[in-house]
Chain A
Amino acid sequence: MYTLTVENLARFFGPRLVFKEVSFSLSSGQSLAVTGRNGSGKTTLLRLLAGLSSPSKGKISFSRDGQKLTRAEYRRSTSYVGPELTLYDNLTAVENLRFFATMRGVELDANSIERILADVQLAGRGGDFYGAYSSGMKLRLKYAVALLGDPALLLLDEPTSNLDEDGKRIVSEIIARQTATGILIIATNEKEEYGFAQKLYRVGD
């Protein structure tokens, strides 16, 4: 059982306060949608939770069965998908998957790769360069990379933007699977997207 605890989090950019006093706690099987107006700090909050930047105040702790995880363990247990993320344009989808699998400590054989690509409806397109993909296909591959190793905490920023109906269905399946076993946090203002989550948290109010 994993537990994510966020206590009195605040983030400043220089003198400008983005948000303050953000606190919540989530355990495996729970999901949260973070909403708020543009510039309220939804993406900033997700970046803090992903370990990509540090909070100005407050603390984030992630524990497994009551045992606090180290920074390296936290990183290995967390995945983040957002518009700012880019995979390698001049590597193929299969090469990208293989590379990130190795970096996450996951062994992939040819069958696993085929299955992963089929899960995100990219079967038969594994040999194409990531740079040649459409924005929707790129997002699907980012999901495939993010799910390598079954992360305990999955952070999604605007999860269905640029996706067609099939893509949205894939995301809803991923979300259902994640909330069955892990923790899910979505940053969005789309009603359709925050409908995926069990709890709602509004930042910037």
Chain B
Amino acid sequence: MALPKSSIGLATKALAVLHKDIRSEFRSRYAINAILLFGVTTLTVVSLSVGQTSLQAPVYSALFTIIMFFSAMSGLAQVFVKEEEAKTAVVLKLTSDPTPVYLGKLVFNFLLLALLEIIVAPLFFVMTDAQLKDPLLFIIIQLLASIGLAGATTLIAAIISKAGIKGALFAVLSFPILLPLLIGALNGTTKALETTDGLYSAGTELKLLISYAVVMITASVLLFEQVWEE
């Protein structure tokens, strides 16, 4: 069985992990169902509660962030939990370098969050009386928040995947780490709801979200090998 060896690079391996996870997910729909069910359910509860009552922008921002955060918590850990529960983590460890595994799963989690945003955000504005004053700022804030959220939660998912009480541990460990990101996302979303001054009005929030994503992803890439190998 002599096979030609090639120099398949990091990006190709990371894409292979992403492709495999997308294919698996569309066949099982485990994480998508969990995330969307939670997102749409909480959105419905919010809509039934506040209905078309006019609230202040910070309140709408808080409601939207709560929906996104807890929906994400219900599904993002699955990238590694699924590997441990299906006992495929062992063979993945034996055959793969850690970095492409982290990067592939990071992009998968980001795509999952993007899908959640695409479905939940329009529904939020239809089902509540929230007015979006700056759609571009809103999209950029949500995009950066999703990158940071995916970066942090992918590493935390790897840490908790071997634990007994995975769900609770994931939320408990994630919350303090995600606090700066949540503050940036909350304030940035509030500004997108109440001002039309463009990106300059949310300079601080944008800087915070960009810095958070860069620091979190860099630190996660560096730490992942230790987490994955142990």
Q: Which of A78-126 contact B (CB under 8 A)?
A: 78-80, 84-91, 95, 98-108, 112, 115-116, 119
CB of B49 within 8 A of chain A?
no
Chain A's closest residue to B96 (CB) is A103
Chain A residues, Cβ within 8 Å of B27: 90
User: Does A150 contact B2, Cβ atoms closer than 8 Å?
Assistant: yes
User: Does B94 contact A50, Cβ atoms closer than 8 Å?
Assistant: yes
Set A95, A115, A149: member contacting B5, Cβ < 8 A: A149
Set B12, B24, B91, B229: member contacting A90, Cβ < 8 A: B24
Cα separation A147 to B1 with both chains bound (whole Å): 7
Q: Which of B69-96 contact A (CB under 8 A)?
A: 86-88, 90-96
CB within 8 Å for A86 and B3 given contacts A91-B24, A103-B100:
no
Q: Which of B8-32 contact A (CB under 8 A)?
A: 8, 12-13, 16-17, 19-20, 23-24, 27-28
Q: How large is the interface on A (under 10, 10 to 19, 20 to 34, 35 or more residues)?
A: 35 or more
Interface centre among B12, B92, B94 (most CB of A within 10 A): B94
Chain A residues, Cβ within 8 Å of B176: none
Chain A residues, Cβ within 8 Å of B28: 90
Chain A residues, Cβ within 8 Å of B91: 85-87, 100, 142, 145
User: Does B86 contact A86, Cβ atoms closer than 8 Å?
Assistant: yes
CB within 8 Å for A84 and B20 given contacts A75-B94, A104-B95, A108-B3:
no
Chain A's closest residue to B94 (CB) is A80
Set B17, B19, B88, B97: member contacting A86, Cβ < 8 A: B88
Q: Mark A163-200, 1 if CB is under 8 A from B, else 0.
A: 00000000000000100000000000000000000000
Cα separation A171 to B126 with both chains bound (whole Å): 62
Chain B's closest residue to A109 (CB) is B4
In the complex, how many angstroms separate the beta carbon of B91 from the nearest chain A beta carbon? 5
Set B1, B13, B87: member contacting A102, Cβ < 8 A: B13
Set A79, A101, A115: member contacting B94, Cβ < 8 A: A79
CB of A148 within 8 A of chain B?
yes
Cα separation A105 to B96 with both chains bound (whole Å): 9
Which A residues are within 8 Å of any B CB, using their own CB?
A: 50-52, 72, 75, 78-80, 84-91, 95, 98-108, 112, 115-116, 119, 142, 145, 147-150, 177
Q: List 19 A-B contacts (CB under 8 A).
A: A84-B90, A85-B91, A85-B94, A86-B88, A90-B28, A99-B19, A99-B20, A100-B91, A101-B3, A102-B8, A103-B13, A103-B92, A106-B4, A106-B6, A107-B5, A107-B6, A115-B1, A147-B1, A149-B3
